Amino acid sequence: MILKDRIALVTGAAGGIGQAICTALAAEGATIAVHYHKQEAAALDLVGELGGAATAFQADITAADQAQSLVDRVVERMGGIDILINNAGITIGGQSVVDMPLEDWHKVVDVNLHSVLYMSKAALPYMRKRQDGAVVNIASNVVNTLPGGAAAYATTKAGVVALTKVLSKEEAQHGIRVNAISPGIIHAGMGVGALNRRTPEVREQFLNTIPMRRSGGAEEVAAAVVFLASSSASYVTGQHMSVNGGDRTESYQ
């Protein structure tokens, strides 16, 4: 129970990786604020599974005022925030920069990057009061591979890594550690869609380019989150950890 009595806010918690993160944090004793935007049923089901260890909170965190309201409500209801997991994300792939509608670009930037900024600005003042906290931002292995057709997603996730490193330097004096995790192809959420879009032959070829020759599990990402959120990583900040089976190749389209 390495996170006993800790309060964790997880954004995008209703998705596959988000649910795994919440479950893993709760298993280590944390109380979870389960954030969702539109997936109310999935969020409430997760809260039901976690029992008294979790409460659901709705917000559109692409709006700064709603991100602030979310954090304020969590603090009022739960008494504070020790751990912030910026997990919410979307992708609109398969479009070249020339062909991509600008509204798609702005939507991905709002969800993947602006929400991380808004949530950090809202939560960090509360976390500073405790002089002991952790922020874990979920980026993506796309920052290592930079495939064509993923301009918006790759740019925003690279921005998340950059913001992580800047925040780690600014918040260390306040006792807050800030790190990022880049999952590779994970058999959950968007990862399932990415695999299913390929033919069986191309899917097998793609997985064989990964040194571990398989996709990852959401629980493997969650285990890395637990480590970085815990005192086991008390001297770890400003780091970008890849959970990707060793993958550094460009994805098959």
| Active-site amino acid positions | 153
Nearest to 89 by CA among 181, 192, 15: 15
Neighbour order of strands in the sheet with 240-243: 54-58, 31-36, 7-10, 83-86, 133-138, 176-183, 240-243
Amino acid at 187: H
Secondary structure of the chain as H, E, C letters: CCCCCCEEEECCCCCHHHHHHHHHHHHCCCEEEEEECCCHHHHHHHHHHHHHHEEEEECCCCCHHHHHHHHHHHHHHHCCCCEEEECCCCCCCCECCCCCCHHHHHHHHHHHHHHHHHHHHHHHHHHHCCCCEEEEEECCCHHHHCCCCEHHHHHHHHHHHHHHHHHHHHHHHHCEEEEEEEECCECCCHHHHHHHCCCHHHHHHHHHCCCCCCCECHHHHHHHHHHHHCHHHCCCCCCEEEECCCCCCCCCC
Residue with tokens 């993506």: 140
